[in-house]
Structure 1
Amino acid sequence: MAATYDVGTKAWQPDATEGWVASEVEQKNIDGDKVTLVFQLANGETKSIETTLAAIADGKDPKLPPLMNPTMLEASDDLTNLSHLNEPAVLQAIKLRYAQKEIYTYSGIVLIATNPFARVDSLYVPGMVQIYAGKQRQTQAPHLFAIAEEAFADMLRDGRNQTIVVSGESGAGKTVSAKYIMRYFAT
């Protein structure tokens, strides 16, 4: 379904300082096939984009900004639930979850972990292991233990080895995450 960019449509605009800034279509002026979209940005600026009805209909004009998700989806615990899956929407979801001290977010079967730069021992206490033990991944909040439980259950069910890949930049917490996963298996 192509976006119409009607008045009131919310979209992300590139920003040199913030990366992306929220905006809303304030005016949509149509002259034949030519369309001028006027956006009001959250930082107080306005931005005009010249395009065509055909470009809006096919959604492939690179000048058109990525659309924002409805507020109720913005902090989704699984990025595959986002109605508009684009770079700023993904970054916004992870940012909002991080602000809520939710360091884990799913992207389908992948678990994204953001480094909290603080101790979060309460996420890994023995009681937390029990919350995830024997439960299906989709019934619990995103967590390393949910991934570990799913791998363990699949191994038992299928009788096949399982692999959990932990990747990230140097200092991102890979070793600590791997230790928590091994502790889960040992419990």
Structure 2
Amino acid sequence: LFQVNGHNPGSDGQARESLREDLQKFLGGEVLLHQLDDLTKVNPVTLETVLRCLQARYMADTFYTNAGCTLVALNPFKPVLHLYSPELMREYHAAPQPQKLKPHVFTVGEQTYRNVKSLIEPVNQSIVVSGESGAGKTWTSRCLMKFYAVVATSPASWESHKIAERIEQRILNSNPVMEAFGRLSRDTRQLVFVLALEPRCAFLSIVSNDS
């Protein structure tokens, strides 16, 4: 980074000292770091401040953080009750502005779902899930597929509920086969899921990319 918080670290000693003061001031409020739900609010933006913010949120059992239009997900490496429950899915689906709720993979899922179903101008959607091996890409893709299966049918009737369960199970059962194609040695392990949950949803893809 050539400039951090308006300073050029390589310009002179005064600029470096000013940056150091900004870092100390920011990290001095570490108690509040877990409340920053968007990394663009971190000031100054350095590797240390970003990592400390994510660490504070992880310790507070907050595993999703926005970074502008990108969602950063941390693998909790433990069961977290209600983090992916159907009730929470419906809460994000029913919210007038889901982006105002806490950062979550369901926010991304709901926004793409609304873009596809838009009455004004439906737009094909793709979601890129990227990360190191073991970061949770497959789990995230499964959560997205489950989310679409749940919200694509009305919960008003028992019949609709059973239809949603069948769709969900079929999609999840196909995951190992689709993932096998993503592990071919010839490519970069790009994994593409195409979901057609209803006639108007002509194309909805989830792309999982191993970088």
Query: How does 1:1-187 map onto structure 2 within 5 Å?
Result: 55-56=12-13, 59=15, 61=16, 65=20, 67-68=23-24, 69=26, 71=29, 74-75=33-34, 76-135=36-95, 136-157=97-118, 158-187=121-150
Structure of greater relative contact order (alpha carbons < 8 Å, 6+ residues apart): 2
How far apart, CA to CA, are the structure 2 residues paired with 1:131 and 1:169?
Answer: 30
How far apart, CA to CA, are the structure 2 residues paired with 1:176 and 1:153?
Answer: 22
Write 1 or 2 for the structure with the bigger share of strand. Answer: 1
TM-score (norm 1): 0.64
What secondary structure is seen at the aligned counterpart in 1 of 2:131?
Answer: coil
- Report the aligned-residue RMSD: 2.8
Q: Kindly provide the CA deviation profile for residues 64-111 of structure 1, in whole angstroms up to 9, marking residues without a partner as x.
A: 647242627622111011121111110011000000000111101111
> Bigger radius of gyration, 1 or 2?
1
The 1:121/1:166 distance shift into structure 2, 3 A limit, reads: farther
How far apart, CA to CA, are the structure 2 residues paired with 1:145 and 1:154?
Answer: 14
The 1:2/1:167 distance shift into structure 2, 3 A limit, reads: closer
The 1:167/1:55 distance shift into structure 2, 3 A limit, reads: same
Whether contact under 8 Å (1:134, 1:149) holds in the other structure is no
Runs of at least 5 residues in structure 2 that lack an aligned partner in the other structure: 151-211
The alpha-carbon deviation at position 156 of structure 1 amounts to 2.4
Identity rate, percent: 34
Runs of at least 5 residues in structure 1 that lack an aligned partner in the other structure: 4-50
The alpha-carbon deviation at position 130 of structure 1 amounts to 1.5
How far apart, CA to CA, are the structure 2 residues paired with 1:134 and 1:183?
Answer: 16
Whether contact under 8 Å (1:168, 1:174) holds in the other structure is yes
The 1:137/1:110 distance shift into structure 2, 3 A limit, reads: farther
The alpha-carbon deviation at position 183 of structure 1 amounts to 0.8
How far apart, CA to CA, are the structure 2 residues paired with 1:183 and 1:91?
Answer: 30
TM-score (norm 2): 0.57
How far apart, CA to CA, are the structure 1 residues paired with 2:41 and 2:127?
Answer: 23
How far apart, CA to CA, are the structure 2 residues paired with 1:126 and 1:118?
Answer: 19
Letter of the structure 1 residue corresponding to residue 92 of structure 2: Y
The alpha-carbon deviation at position 2 of structure 1 amounts to 5.0
Q: What corresponds to 1:40 in structure 2?
A: none
How far apart, CA to CA, are the structure 2 residues paired with 1:73 and 1:80?
Answer: 15
How far apart, CA to CA, are the structure 2 residues paired with 1:89 and 1:83?
Answer: 8
